[in-house]
Structure formats: structure tokens, C-alpha cells
A and B are shown apart, each in its own frame.
Chain A
Amino acid sequence: MRVPGALFAARGRAPQSESDVPFQEILPLRLKNTVSGKADSGSDVACLQEMGQLFACLKDNEFTEKYCSKEINQFQRCFKCYMDRKLEAKKTVNQGIVQPGSNLNYKQLNKYMRRYPNPV
């Protein structure tokens, strides 16, 4: 008597023997010891709130600047602060000094990982 194939199908496909298809490690099975700095540039958005206030004031006063000197000053101070901070951050990043903390940038991370690489 012929056994219909459908009976076997209920068990699913027979597994391949490992000796026939040996496992190949095409990419190494561990993480690299470097990270790229692409995503680190971060967003450049600053002083949104101040800008909003400035716009509101300008609109109310029909774009006459002298009535909005307070808002203008605030906005400009904020932007200057932001630029200064950015410059400072750039300086420290370029020096590549590793500080303790979780907020590390890619250069610092790379330095860390060079010191403590993944075990081979």
C-alpha cells in the first residue's frame, strides 16, 4: 500500500543534517570594537521657545523691533550661549578626553573600547 505524502507533511519538513550543511561564520559573531560617529552630530535645534516668543511679539507689534527689545535680547543671548557651548563641546571632543559618565560621544567610546575590547 502506498503511504500518502500528506501524512509525512504533518510532521513538517525533515531537518537537514548538520554534517551536510556545516555552519559558516560569514560575519564575526561579535560586535565590532568601534562605533561610527555618524549619528553623533545631533540635532542643531536651539532656542525654539525664545524664537516663538520673538515671533509672537513681532507679530503683535507689526515687526517694529524697538517694542520687542526684551525678547530680542533674550533670543540673542540664548543663541550666543548655545554657540559657546557648542564650541566648548567641540574642543573637548577633539581632545578626546574620556570622562566618567554615560553620555559619551563616539570618540570617547572608541577610546574606551580600544582599552577594553571584546574578547576574541
Chain B
Amino acid sequence: MSFLTRIVGKSTSFSGIRLMSVYPQHYVEPIVQKDKQIEQKDELTKLHHIPIKAALNKSSDTVFHDDTKEKLLNYITKKGNSALARTLLSKAFELIKRTQTERLNLAKGDKDKVITNAEVLLKQAVENCRPLLQVTAIKRGGVTYQVPVPITTKRSYFLAMKWLLEAAREKERKVSLPEKLAWEILDAAHGQGRVVKRKDDLHRQCEANRAYAHYRWS
């Protein structure tokens, strides 16, 4: 492992922060997707002299790649078994596709309204489940107040996906995870279901505690 320590040793700049990464600090993250490269074309000239980190072994630039999907895969994964997570998610997508196709065939008249693309549905579901605020417990004079605070976009996406998964995992033994996940995604995509309700409950709780909003940290 000597080369590891060598690389880390090279990169210890005078900032004094212990660097845990194998890559020296001036390495930057790769831009894997080609369309993203084209998007940021103006900034790429700056990267001309800067070394790039290696692409991760799950990154790809195919039509099947989707950022939301990748993130959800990470959340599904337990104990590093990402292969299983992949199969579970693809099964869930297959189920979504099946039900949606069934609905499409049963639908009378307006057939364009039924979306059969599972990835689009997943994105819609996540968007519908994103909370705007959350409550944090703040102790003031021995009393704990539930204080509504705004959250960052990243955290709102995380919470949405976490809730979807929690809802999917809370099931009877006979039902499989892909089945339940597919239902939840379909429900959430149409703005119904437990996850959307959970988000609304959170908003209601925030509204009830609006009087404490000016207590924030400090």
C-alpha cells in the first residue's frame, strides 16, 4: 500500500486538514455525461491543466443513465449489495410499466395522458414528495419547541426518496419490495398515497408551529 501513502503525502498542503481521500486535493470530479460536458463547455478550458479523478465504477453515459435513479439505487442498497438493488429497482420499474400499460389499454379517449415511462414517473413521484420545510427540536429554557426551518434542495430530494423507500419497506411479509415500491411510486406520481400525505402532514406541523419560527439556532 505504499503508493497510497505516497499520494496522500504528496497532497498534504499547509491547510492542516487531514485528507482521507486517495486523490490529492487539486484533483477534480469527472464530468461523465457528454451532454453535461457540452453544457459546461466554457468552464472546461479551465480544467485543461487540472488532473481529473477516475470515473466511478457505476457511472456510465448511456440512455439508461438517470441521476435520480442512481441516487435511489444508493438508498436501496444494503451492505454494499448494489447488484441486488439494481435488480429490485428494475423489477419495480417493470411492474410500473406493466400497470401503466394496462391502464393505457383500458383508458377511454385521452390516451396521451397516461405516462408509461417508469423513469419519468419516478421523477414525478419524487418531485411530488419533496417537502419545503422541516421541523427541528430546539430546547429553550427546558422546553423543547418544534421549530419550522427551510431545507436545502439536496436534503428535500433525500427526504422524498427516503420516505418513498420507508413506505415501500413497511409492508406485509408476502409482498415483495419491488411491488410495494412500484405502488408507492405510482401513487406519489399522481399526488396521492402515504408519502404525499406524510409530506402534507409535515407541512401542517410546520404551520401549527409557525409561532416558533423566529427561534432558530442560537
Contacts and interface: CB of A to CB of B under 8 A. Distances in A.
B186 to A, nearest CB: 19
Given A48-B214, A51-B213, A75-B132, A83 B152 contact: yes
A43 B214 CA distance: 9
Interface in A36-89: 41-48, 51-52, 54-55, 58-59, 63, 65, 72, 75-76, 79-80, 83
Instruction: Determine which residue in A46, A76, A83 has the highest number of CB atoms from chain B within 10 A of its CB, and name it.
Output: A76
B213 A44 contact: no
- Contact-residue size bin, chain B (C-beta under 8 Å from the other chain): 10 to 19
Contacts of A76: 132, 150, 153
Interface string B196-210: 000010011011001
Contacts of B133: 51
Contacts of A48: 213-214
Contacts of A41: 217-218
A61 to B, nearest CB: 11
A44 B217 contact: yes
Contact of A45 (B200, B210, B214): B214
A93 to B, nearest CB: 16
A79 B131 CA distance: 14
Contacts of B203: 58, 63
B200 A63 contact: yes
A79 B150 contact: yes
Given A76-B132, A83-B152, A51 B210 contact: yes
A32 B4 CA distance: 47
B216 interface: yes
B216 A51 contact: no
Contacts of B132: 54, 65, 72, 75-76
Contacts of B207: 55, 58-59, 63
Nearest to B150: A79
A47 B148 CA distance: 12
A54 B153 CA distance: 17
B200 A43 contact: no
7 contacts: A44-B216, A44-B217, A48-B213, A51-B133, A51-B213, A55-B206, A72-B132
Interface of B: 132-133, 148, 150, 152-153, 200, 203-204, 206-207, 210, 213-214, 216-218
